[in-house]
């Protein structure tokens, strides 16, 4: 796990009996002094009548609290209050740095009500002891927020990082350097600097539709300046997503990015992050490094303060060794290896989403076949080398038989979809999605003996539904051996992958697959929208290897993997940061459903994994990767 929340979050909450901090306390920034942690935070008051506005409004002050351990704070009091015209409607979001024995507290100064871009600027308060304020200055003559000084000089200069045009985007995260501290609040300096402010920006935004803002004061590490920032995707839409991201800046030239994450390491998940004055917001505001543990402080839902912990050496390795956590499947040049056969009506429209087994030196492929009237059956093909199709059955080997998979309307979708095969001893089990076009799709199971399968005597047992009625459930398969005496089945209910444990596979009336949120989507990542099992688990010496598909916010299907503990598969040992496989070729990007790679089967031959997949819900392809390469990536991506 990259980051771990403190179990007793939130660490600071509003106190209703104190008017000045009764509504919210958030975006706190810590600093150590005299073996104590001083915590400066934004405090929002109850609405009070303001004569300048002529109505009741809430205003922000900056409070301070102290702690012996950086987690339990007391002695809370008001520290920075607005009294200059340039801050008369509030002081927000402090960031504190100690430099040359003084404490420089930068904050957002509000001079207009209602707030507008011209009335939102950066101010600074200077203190010798974090008890009293000695000086205050307006810093930027233009719209800006979230400024902070680096905690030491770089090449003899004082450096700062800030967000420019925060409230009239596109915003830019920029750097500024000064010969002396007085330049920090020099209007002449900033007017000159602002003329070409984009020349001072750090290229962090991935899309013009996104928004960024400086987070915590940079932390010095051996690898560079570790810099946290808020990355807001889809900023101009009703679907904003607040994530916390990081970059590593060069120690001697912070304008150079050494490494960065391509995904959020933290996003709103817990109740206190999803509910508050501004729901679904986390905002990084401060950090402390003690030995190898970095404590990251953040505001939650603009209401409370929280903290999470990072193992810094592990985190920096993961950031800087990106090449070790990225690997790709290699497509067969013969792809697609199975396409629709117009001469067979049952498979004339599409052939895709194949299961696979390696038996008697041959790869046996069972694929979903679709007719022109949208009925899905299961076809069979065979390969000696894993790529070249040597034999393909002229008739389906499994067809819809039960009421729950029969067509209910002409040309409506129905049948047996997306098979997955698992062998345990002398029996082969096939899990598939049963659909009648009327009720939600459900998981079904049937089986056949290995001898009958190899003889192509398709004596399947009567299929039965095993998932909950009236609930969409797909992508199921079983571990290929019992674990602690139980059959363990993976399935997908909703957008998550679940585990279900069973003494037997009878599934008597009223017994259904259990729901447990085992693997879930990661907002802001490649698997942000939903996840589902791709292929049945592969047993390795290091754990159960499980490929899964992830769907992005753009509805692109890609493939990653997890490594689960051999004795207790509910324990995830590793999960890929980047997908192994994504749509790239024409037969994956264009088809019945564009931008889809969807594996349902793998076989392991001489240390290489052959992955059989559907391309764009239309054709079958195969790709390969070495088992050792997959395991090496998952070792680097431990959780």
pLDDT in tens, 316-350: 999 998 888 999 999 999 999 999 999 999 999 99
How many beta carbons lie within 10 A of that of residue 290, not counting itself? 11
How many beta carbons lie within 10 A of that of residue 10, not counting itself? 23
Q: Which domains does the chain have, with CATH numbers?
A: 4-320 (2.115.10.20), 330-636 (2.115.10.20)
Average pLDDT over residues 93-111: 97
557: which strand partners?
A: 551
C-alpha closest to that of 501 among 491, 539, 471, 448: 491
Q: Are 626 and 602 in contact (CB under 8 A)?
A: no
Q: Is 248 exposed, middle or buried, given 0-12, 13-18 or 19+ CB atoms closer than 10 A?
A: buried
pLDDT in tens, 420-458: 999 999 999 999 999 999 999 999 999 999 999 999 999
Tell me the pLDDT of the chain averaged across its residues. 96
- 152-172: string of b/e by CB count within 10 Å (b at 16+)? eebeeebbbbbbbbbbebebb
What pLDDT is stored for residue 53 in this prediction? 87
Q: Are 349 and 399 in contact (CB under 8 A)?
A: no
Token output for 470:
């009236």
Which residue reads 């003329």 in tokens? Answer: 195
Average pLDDT over residues 529-546: 98
Helix or strand run (H / E) with residue 312 = helix 312-320
Report percent pLDDT > 90 for the chain.
Answer: 95
Token output for 415:
């049948």
Which residue reads 């022109």 in tokens? Answer: 372
What pLDDT is stored for residue 68 in this prediction? 96
Q: Between 237 and 534, name the one with better pLDDT.
A: 534
Reply yes or no on whether the pLDDT at 509 is more than 80.
no
**Nearest-5° Cα angle at 434, 433 to 435:** 115
What does the alpha-carbon distance between residue 173 and residue 145 come to, in Å, rounded to a whole number? 10
DSSP state of 101: T
Q: Between 51 and 289, name the one with better pLDDT.
A: 289
CA 41, 42, 48, 49 torsion: positive or negative?
A: positive
């Amino acid at each position: 796990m990259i980051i771990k929340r403190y179990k007793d979050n939130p660490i600071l909450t509003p106190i209703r009996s104190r008017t000045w901090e009764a509504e919210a306390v958030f975006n706190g920034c810590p600093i150590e002094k005299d073996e104590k942690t001083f915590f400066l935070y934004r405090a929002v008051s109850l609405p009070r009548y303001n004569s300048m506005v002529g109505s009741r409004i809430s205003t922000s002050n900056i409070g301070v609290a102290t702690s012996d351990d950086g987690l339990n704070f007391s002695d809370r009091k008001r520290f920075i209050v607005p009294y200059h015209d340039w801050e008369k409607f509030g002081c927000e979001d402090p960031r504190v740095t100690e430099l040359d024995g003084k404490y420089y507290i930068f904050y957002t100064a509000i001079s207009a009500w209602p707030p507008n871009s011209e009335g939102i600027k950066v101010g600074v308060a200077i203190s010798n002891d974090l008890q009293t304020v000695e000086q205050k200055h307006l810093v930027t003559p233009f719209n800006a927020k979230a400024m902070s000084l680096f905690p030491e000089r770089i090449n003899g200069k004082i450096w700062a990082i800030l967000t420019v045009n925060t409230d009239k985007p596109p915003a830019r995260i920029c750097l500024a350097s000064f010969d002396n501290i007085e330049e920090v609040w020099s209007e002449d300096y900033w007017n000159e600097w602002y003329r070409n402010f984009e020349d001072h920006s750090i290229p962090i935004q991935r899309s013009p539709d996104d928004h960024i803002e400086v987070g915590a004061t940079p932390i010095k590490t051996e690898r560079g300046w570790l810099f946290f920032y808020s990355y807001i995707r889809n900023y101009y839409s009703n679907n904003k997503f607040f994530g916390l991201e990081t970059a590593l800046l060069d120690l001697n030239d912070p304008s150079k990015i050494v490494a960065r994450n391509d995904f959020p390491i933290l996003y709103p998940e817990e109740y206190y992050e999803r509910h508050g004055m501004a729901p679904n917001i986390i905002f990084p505001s401060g950090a402390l490094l003690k030995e190898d543990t970095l404590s990251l402080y953040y505001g939650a839902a603009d209401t409370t303060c929280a903290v999470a912990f990072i193992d810094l050496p592990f985190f920096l390795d993961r950031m800087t060794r990106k090449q070790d956590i990225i690997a790709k499947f290699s497509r067969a040049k013969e792809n697609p290896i199975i396409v629709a056969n117009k001469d067979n009506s049952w498979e004339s429209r599409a052939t895709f989403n194949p299961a696979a087994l390696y038996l008697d030196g041959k790869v046996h492929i069972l694929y979903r076949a679709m007719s022109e009237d949208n009925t899905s059956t299961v076809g069979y093909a065979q390969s000696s080398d894993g790529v070249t199709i040597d034999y393909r059955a002229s008739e389906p080997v499994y067809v819809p038989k039960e009421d729950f998979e029969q067509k209910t309307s002409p040309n409506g979708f129905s049948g047996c979809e997306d098979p997955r095969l698992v062998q345990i001893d002398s029996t082969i089990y096939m899990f598939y999605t049963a659909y009648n076009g009327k009720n939600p799709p459900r998981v079904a199971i049937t089986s056949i003996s290995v001898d009958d399968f190899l003889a192509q005597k398709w004596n399947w047992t009567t299929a039965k539904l095993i998932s909950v009625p009236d609930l969409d459930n797909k992508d199921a398969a079983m571990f290929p051996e019992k674990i602690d005496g139980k059959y363990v089945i993976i399935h997908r209910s909703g957008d998550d992958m679940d585990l279900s444990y069973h003494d037997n596979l009878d599934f008597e009336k009223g017994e259904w697959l259990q729901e447990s949120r085992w693997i879930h989507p990661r907002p802001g990542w490649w698997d942000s929208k939903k996840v589902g099992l791709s292929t049945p688990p592969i047993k390795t010496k290091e754990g159960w290897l499980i490929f899964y598909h992830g769907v992005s916010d753009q509805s692109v299907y890609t493939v990653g993997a997890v490594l689960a503990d051999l004795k207790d598969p509910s324990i995830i040992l590793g999960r890929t940061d980047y997908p192994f496989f994504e749509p790239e070729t024409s037969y994956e990007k264009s088809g019945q459903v564009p931008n889809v790679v969807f594996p349902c089967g793998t076989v392991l031959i001489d240390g290489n994994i052959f992955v059989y997949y559907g391309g764009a819900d239309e054709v079958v392809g195969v790709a390969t990767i070495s088992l050792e390469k997959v395991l090496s990536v998952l070792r680097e991506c431990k959780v």
